[in-house]
Chains A and B, each alone.
Chain A
Amino acid sequence: MNQLLWLIPGAPILGALIIVLLGGFLRYRHVAVLASCAAAAAFLTVLLAWLNGASNTQPLQQTVYTWMAVGDWRPTVGLMLDRLSLVMVSVVSGVGFLIHLYSIAFMAKDNDFRRYYFFLNLFLGGMLLLVLADNLLLLYLGWELVGLCSFALIGFWYRDPVRASAGRKAFITTRIGDLLLALGIFLLFSQFNTLSLPVLFDAISEQWQSNSQLAAITAFMIFAGAIGKSAQIPLQVWLPDAMAGPSPVSALIHAATMVTAGVYLIARMHPLFELTPLVQWTVAAIGAVTVLYGASSALAQNDLKRVLAYSTISQIGYMFLALGCGAYAFALFHLVTHAFFKSLLFLTAGAIIQANNDEHDIHRLGSHGGHSLLMHGCFLVGAASLAGIPVITAGFYSKEAILTAVWPASTGQLLWVIAALGAFLTSIYIFRTYFLLFHNSQKADSTSPTINGLMAWPLYILAILSITAGFVEFPAGWSGPRLWSTWLENEFSAAKHPPLATVYVLQLIASLLPLLGVGIAFLLARREKAGYRIPLSDFLRDGWKFDATYKIVLVGGYFKLAHFFKLIESLLIDAMLHKMTRGYKVFATYCRTGFEYGVLNRGLNGLLSGLRFGHAQLSTAQNGLLNRYALMICTGAVFLLGYWLW
């Protein structure tokens, strides 16, 4: 098995290679099948790994070759498959494979399919490389590779400049995070002169005692990298725009895998983070804030995919929250379930949007759009799981686990409240969307589109998974299997949880909130449909007028809050980015005009004109007058004689 490890990232990369080399000769079907087979190969290898890797606690390792050899430092292209990475590769390759299948039908009409599948495969390879890397250098390679592919796929329809710019924005924004990550890596390297992860962890644990400043700085830099990739505040701006890409891409890259790379990174580096409670708390805090931010922003969206984008942001916020509270296992747990239900949502959304010729607006989709039962069902399942409808959905279990683990952490109560609030909002916005989409009284009866089989299967599978995936880990204090935490326990120390009494109370609240949210969402949706023809402010006022119950007031407040957040984003952060870029350009222009031309070239020309002046002066002396020449000779002679007297 050790020797087969390379196949996991290798297969998709090979696929990409074949596509780029022979793509010209292949038809659509061949390319698509080839790409899917590459993904399948990776997935099968992972299953193989499960068969004989899952049992033993010893990580599988393979050194493919020595990447570079500098003195005694020889970073290798080495793969390491412990349980953490096993989880990741399973999710990535599994979801990846499904989305390849889905794309076969989805992209059938597009002429640029070669580029699409090339980058999709490349992305898969890069992502698998990222999670399998046994040293930070290789990890960084995968990290940048997936960034590149995301850039290329966001701007897939590059002829629309807005989309092209969206790709650029994503790439550059994440690059800022990557810069800090790289600096963190340099720091580690300059300290320990190695980048191999196992060695590094030993070195860290023995050389750095906790709260050491270096550790804090390094951890912070790596955290910054994670923030960039995972679209957390303040680097989250790129993700909503990233929806410019095709829906499967959004599902794979911007929901299931790439954006969770940050989570993986922090989980992977947890020995470092555990040294610095401060940074750990920051992680949690940022996570919490992001949860709130994402959820509330999602509340006000009208573009279907943007709703999902914001919800992704907030869901990843949950994972960070868990990481910050040291509940790494649960963070991963949520990562997995989220991968399932969020990609389910995205794929369904994609299907709906494509079926209604690229209509994104939920109101119009609701009023005029048609959809099949399958879409309806899948969306419902996904929404339920996202909202964490108690007991029956996977989302519930992972979220519960996180919430209970949050409580005992420092300022846990506050964080818990925020998180719970987030959960509440989540169910509101997702079900608002759901109701707007599917329960539309005055729907214009349109032909309900069907989904062809190849597109349907992934939906089925994901739907099942997003229900059942939760049952591997029952919340604290429940009688039921805890496969997940037990299975990961020698990777991570088990998460603490408060005394059972508190736990039950918390769980009660946390599981009631989503249901509550669904109710609110239902009402809200009705209101929106009712108040659809009138502007939003009026509608609010209507809300106020209608039933002055406690909840409605709350809802109105939430709307305000949501708009406030939208405002913040649109005004502050985007505007700031614009400002920065503009200032940068101005400065650069100054350098060009001011210095380059002003000083350097002018100096040069000054020199030249000086020479020219000298030439003119001397040249006037050459006036062709015999006596002058004679005089010159005499003066010369006098000068020479004068030398002796002097």
Chain B
Amino acid sequence: MQAIDLINLGPFIILGFGGITVLGLGILPAHVSTRTLAAVTIIILILGTVATTLWKVPHEIDGMLVFDRLSRLFVQLCMLGAIVITILSLYYPTTQKEMREEYLSLILFTTLGMALFISSQNLVMAFVGLEILSVPLFALIAWLPKQQHAIEGGIKYAMLAGIAAAFFLYGTTLAYVNSGSLNIAALGQSLSDGHLPAIAVTLLLVGMGFKLALVPFHMWSPDIYQAAPAPVTALFASTVKAAVLIFLIRLLCLNLQPVWEALLPLLWILAVISMFAGNLLALLQQNIKRLLAYSSIAHIGYIFVALAAGNSLGRDAAIYYSLAYALMNLGAFAVVAALALTGKDRQTLEDYRGLGRQYPILGISMAISLLALAGLPPTAGFVAKLLAFGSAVEAGHFILAIIAVINTAIAFYYYLHILVIFFAEEKEKTGQIIAPLPKGTLVSVIVINSFIIGLGIFPELITTGFP
């Protein structure tokens, strides 16, 4: 193992040791304030981000991890996400008191998991990453047992994630059975025409489809979104899904083209049902977290529209969409988290009536995020849709494009509904006094939304030069 490997492993090491450090800080006799812990966490994450910039790309560590621009970009995204989550949870009224070193270290560990998963070239690595990613989430969801629904959500997620993991694992082993190697590339080379590799990939797909809340593996997502504290929801609504998507793309589009080709009709169907199910479920939903859950189901559908195109544009579209998707959801949930009340999140839409006027900055941010989700220019959401539909059209899937378009139109309905409630004049003065928002939250929200706009106006920044 030479130096370059070490440099490239830097971020992972930093994250791993960082997590342990934070834990360690907790058991020091001297009491360390939550702020300090959070500061340390953020510093660690920033260090990690810096470390990624030192990567020598493209590079591969003997069939285990691959370092290219793709993985770098998304590792950085996950770090950013983690930073935002930390800030949010720091000011999140409910977790504020409960938030100790464990919580922060868990965030660091899931980030590590994502990083591994994103840049893994080997199924074992992927599996380990997946578990490191998801196991902390169980804990985070149920972090506040006294919270309503917390435990239920945690258990559901644990069980179902377990099942998904089992599928993923079984897929892994079958792939191994097929090719005698766990390296994706090797799997790609030794594709015999038997059903085995296909079945293996399918099982992997099930495993990842669960994490993505792809219909028909989507049932869990609304419940868990609702149960988890808003920052945690933000976490696995945004970056986790992005990470999984990237691995999916790496697996299908970069290594197993033949399987991809063969899978196209299936992806076509999955896209359609995901879009329709997601949008219809979201249409009249009154609980904002569930609504966003459903909307993200629909978005996975749009991403699959891109994947179903089966061309390079489709691949790039999917990558871009994953990024945009993560940012948009992060933005939306950041606002939800920022507006949470002590003891509970604001659940129903009515709880948000008129808040856009009380907190103009949050209001505008919410507007930007939601309009981006709705796919209006000049946001990243628009370019994402443009690329996705474009790839579909290029592949000649006019029907699919039209279906996607119709779904977009349906989706507008509920996004606008949220916004109107957000900006409607409040019926009568509600009890709570308008607390001034913490700077950190505002900064993070603004940063995210400026990313959304910036990537919408200059998509060049990331669309060029993917493998």
Q: How far is the CA of A347 from the CA of B202 in the complex (A)?
A: 101
In the complex, whether B283 has a CB less than 8 A from a CB of chain A is yes
Q: How far is the CA of A618 from the CA of B220 in the complex (A)?
A: 14
With a cutoff of 8 Å between Cβ atoms, the chain A residues found around residue B283 in the complex are 611-612, 615
Which among B155, B198, B219, B266 is the interface contact of A622 at CB below 8 angstroms? Answer: B219
Which among B155, B159, B195, B203 is the interface contact of A637 at CB below 8 angstroms? Answer: B203
Which among B156, B266, B285 is the interface contact of A643 at CB below 8 angstroms? Answer: B266
In the complex, whether A161 has a CB less than 8 A from a CB of chain B is no
Q: Are A622 and B216 interface neighbours, CB within 8 A? A: no
Which among A615, A622, A624, A629 is the interface contact of B160 at CB below 8 angstroms? Answer: A629
Q: Evaluate whether A630 and B159 lie within 8 angstroms (CB atoms) in the complex, with A636-B206, A639-B216 already known.
A: yes
Q: Evaluate whether A626 and B202 lie within 8 angstroms (CB atoms) in the complex, with A611-B280, A633-B163 already known.
A: no
Q: Are A644 and B199 interface neighbours, CB within 8 A? A: yes
With a cutoff of 8 Å between Cβ atoms, the chain B residues found around residue A643 in the complex are 202, 265-266
Which among B205, B222, B276, B277 is the interface contact of A640 at CB below 8 angstroms? Answer: B205
Q: Residue of B at shortest CB range from A612?
A: B284
Q: Are A640 and B266 interface neighbours, CB within 8 A? A: yes
Q: How far is the CA of A621 from the CA of B202 in the complex (A)?
A: 25
Q: How far is the CA of A527 from the CA of B185 in the complex (A)?
A: 123
Chain B interface residue count, CB cutoff 8 Å, equals 32
> What are 10 A-B residue pairs whose CB atoms fall within 8 Å in the complex?
A611-B280, A612-B284, A615-B281, A630-B160, A632-B217, A632-B219, A633-B163, A636-B209, A637-B203, A643-B266
Closest chain-A Cβ to B107's Cβ sits at a distance in Å of 26
Q: Are B280 and A633 interface neighbours, CB within 8 A? A: no
Q: Mark A609-646, 1 if CB is under 8 A from B, else 0.
A: 00110110011011010101110110111011101110
Q: Are A644 and B206 interface neighbours, CB within 8 A? A: no
Closest chain-B Cβ to A617's Cβ sits at a distance in Å of 8
Q: Evaluate whether A615 and B284 lie within 8 angstroms (CB atoms) in the complex, with A633-B160, A641-B202 already known.
A: yes
With a cutoff of 8 Å between Cβ atoms, the chain A residues found around residue B349 in the complex are none
Q: How far is the CA of A612 from the CA of B210 in the complex (A)?
A: 26
Q: Mark A553-592, 1 if CB is under 8 A from B, else 0.
A: 0000000000000000000000000000000000000000
Q: Are A644 and B280 interface neighbours, CB within 8 A? A: no
Q: Mark B199-242, 1 if CB is under 8 A from A, else 0.
A: 10011011001100000110110110000000000000000000
Which among A626, A639, A645 is the interface contact of B159 at CB below 8 angstroms? Answer: A626
Q: How far is the CA of A399 from the CA of B206 in the complex (A)?
A: 104
With a cutoff of 8 Å between Cβ atoms, the chain B residues found around residue A630 in the complex are 159-160, 163
Q: Are B209 and A629 interface neighbours, CB within 8 A? A: no
With a cutoff of 8 Å between Cβ atoms, the chain B residues found around residue A632 in the complex are 216-217, 219
Q: Are B206 and A615 interface neighbours, CB within 8 A? A: no
Closest chain-A Cβ to B168's Cβ sits at a distance in Å of 11
Q: How far is the CA of A568 from the CA of B205 in the complex (A)?
A: 88
Closest chain-A Cβ to B228's Cβ sits at a distance in Å of 15
A-B contact count (CB 8 A): 71
In the complex, whether B164 has a CB less than 8 A from a CB of chain A is yes
With a cutoff of 8 Å between Cβ atoms, the chain A residues found around residue B209 in the complex are 636
Q: Residue of A at shortest CB range from B160?
A: A629
Closest chain-B Cβ to A402's Cβ sits at a distance in Å of 73
Q: Classify chain A: how many residues form its interface, as a range.
A: 20 to 34
Interface centre among A628, A635, A640 (most CB of B within 10 A): A640
With a cutoff of 8 Å between Cβ atoms, the chain B residues found around residue A636 in the complex are 206, 209, 216-217
Q: Evaluate whether A619 and B163 lie within 8 angstroms (CB atoms) in the complex, with A635-B216, A639-B216 already known.
A: no
Q: How far is the CA of A641 from the CA of B163 in the complex (A)?
A: 16
In the complex, whether B191 has a CB less than 8 A from a CB of chain A is no
Contact residues of B between 426 and 464, Cβ < 8 Å to A: none
Q: Evaluate whether A644 and B216 lie within 8 angstroms (CB atoms) in the complex, with A615-B281, A633-B210, A637-B203 already known.
A: no
Q: Evaluate whether A629 and B219 lie within 8 angstroms (CB atoms) in the complex, with A612-B284, A614-B280, A615-B284 already known.
A: yes
Q: Are A618 and B277 interface neighbours, CB within 8 A? A: yes
Q: Residue of B at shortest CB range from A623?
A: B219
Q: Residue of B at shortest CB range from A613?
A: B280
In the complex, whether B167 has a CB less than 8 A from a CB of chain A is yes
With a cutoff of 8 Å between Cβ atoms, the chain B residues found around residue A639 in the complex are 216
Q: Evaluate whether A626 and B280 lie within 8 angstroms (CB atoms) in the complex, with A611-B410, A621-B219, A644-B198 already known.
A: no
Q: Mark B139-161, 1 if CB is under 8 A from A, else 0.
A: 00000000000000001100110
With a cutoff of 8 Å between Cβ atoms, the chain A residues found around residue B199 in the complex are 641, 644
With a cutoff of 8 Å between Cβ atoms, the chain A residues found around residue B220 in the complex are 629
Q: Evaluate whether A618 and B281 lie within 8 angstroms (CB atoms) in the complex, with A633-B160, A636-B209 already known.
A: yes
Q: How far is the CA of A408 from the CA of B206 in the complex (A)?
A: 104
Closest chain-A Cβ to B129's Cβ sits at a distance in Å of 21
Q: Residue of B at shortest CB range from A616?
A: B284
Q: Are B284 and A626 interface neighbours, CB within 8 A? A: no
Q: Are A618 and B280 interface neighbours, CB within 8 A? A: yes
Q: Residue of B at shortest CB range from A636?
A: B216
Q: Are A633 and B206 interface neighbours, CB within 8 A? A: yes
With a cutoff of 8 Å between Cβ atoms, the chain A residues found around residue B266 in the complex are 640, 643
With a cutoff of 8 Å between Cβ atoms, the chain B residues found around residue A629 in the complex are 156, 160, 219-220
With a cutoff of 8 Å between Cβ atoms, the chain A residues found around residue B203 in the complex are 637
Q: Are A644 and B284 interface neighbours, CB within 8 A? A: no
Q: Are B277 and A633 interface neighbours, CB within 8 A? A: no
Q: How far is the CA of A618 from the CA of B219 in the complex (A)?
A: 10
Q: How far is the CA of A633 from the CA of B220 in the complex (A)?
A: 10
Q: How far is the CA of A621 from the CA of B265 in the complex (A)?
A: 26
Q: How far is the CA of A640 from the CA of B171 in the complex (A)?
A: 13
Q: How far is the CA of A159 from the CA of B199 in the complex (A)?
A: 87
